[in-house]
Amino acid sequence: METKPNPKTPLKNVDDKKKVGEKKSEEDRIVSDKISENPMSRHLNRKRKIIWFNPPYNSAVKSNIGKRFLSLVEKHFPKRHRFSKIFNRNTIKLSYSCSANMKSVISSHNKSILKSNNDTASKMCNCRDKSNCPLNGQCQQEAVIYKATVKTSDDAVKEYIGCSEPPFKQRFANHTQSFNKAAHKNSTRLSQYVWDLKDQSAIFSIKWDIQARSSKYKCGTGKCDLCLAEKLSILKSNPDVSLNKRSEIANKCRHKNK
């Protein structure tokens, strides 16, 4: 069986492929050694393994921690030291960890609110029959927290809170599918409830409305306002009528996997 060539490495002939195989086995050798041994190594550009030191930031500290820290590294791991290849100025980096300051928190909040206002003005609904829109002419809204209220003929009310990053209508289509296809019966707590009602052949109606608006997850920010808003809505909902599980509050953000 032929080994799959590394897509990052342009391979010219069979010999080169063999060399790649060799290199994988001697991964922990030092890059400089490899370059001298093998001319193909230049193309590999293996990432340096960097150890980060993240002391928390404190404005009261006046001493130059970075300089002192790196001089300690040099002092205790000199060139002749057997660990100097692991611990040296090239492999150890220093960075302050600090939370965003008030100004950046406020400005990002304002920015997201102003941006979502512009977005909502441009697209609202694309239903052919506006009177049949699931969300009263707002089905194209993105990054919303929605609430589904299920009412049965004997006045039992249940609520389900969810969030949708793409336009609500896409999420709505998925929900509708889960109500109709038995294979998707357990996809949400709402669909489970709807199927329970169907099994009891109860008459029910579902009303959808927007509970809150948020902003989409932006890569690199590390926080998801949409999930946070959804969890807040679940927390604020009445536990007697809510279909959401309390454990949903601990769920990991799904939007970060982009």
Site residues for Zn ion per CB under 5 A:
125, 127, 133, 139, 224, 226-227, 253, 255
> Between residues 41 and 141, which has the closer beta carbon with respect to Zn ion?
141
- Phi, then psi, of 2 in degrees rounded to 5: -85, 135
Place of tokens 């300051």: 101
| Widest pairwise Cα distance in the chain | 83
> Between residues 139 and 144, which has the closer beta carbon with respect to Zn ion?
139
- Phi, then psi, of 203 in degrees rounded to 5: -95, 130
Q: Are 133 and 146 in contact (CB under 8 A)?
A: no
Q: How far is the CB of 143 from Zn ion (least distance, A)?
A: 10
Q: How far is the CB of 5 from Zn ion (least distance, A)?
A: 37
- 246/175 Cα distance (integer angstroms): 20
> Between residues 41 and 214, which has the closer beta carbon with respect to Zn ion?
214
Place of tokens 């500290």: 61
- 101/89 Cα distance (integer angstroms): 30
- 161/158 Cα distance (integer angstroms): 10
Q: How far is the CB of 18 from Zn ion (least distance, A)?
A: 45
Place of tokens 């604020």: 236
Q: How far is the CB of 12 from Zn ion (least distance, A)?
A: 45
> Between residues 124 and 197, which has the closer beta carbon with respect to Zn ion?
124
Q: How far is the CB of 135 from Zn ion (least distance, A)?
A: 6
Q: 95-115 as b/e, with b when 16 or more CB fall inside 10 Å?
A: eeeeeeeeeeeeebeeebeee
Q: How far is the CB of 145 from Zn ion (least distance, A)?
A: 11
> Between residues 9 and 187, which has the closer beta carbon with respect to Zn ion?
187
> Between residues 65 and 228, which has the closer beta carbon with respect to Zn ion?
228
**Cα radius of gyration (the chain):** 28
Q: How far is the CB of 147 from Zn ion (least distance, A)?
A: 17
> Between residues 150 and 229, which has the closer beta carbon with respect to Zn ion?
229
- 173/99 Cα distance (integer angstroms): 39
CB atoms < 10 A from the CB of 215, how many?
Answer: 21
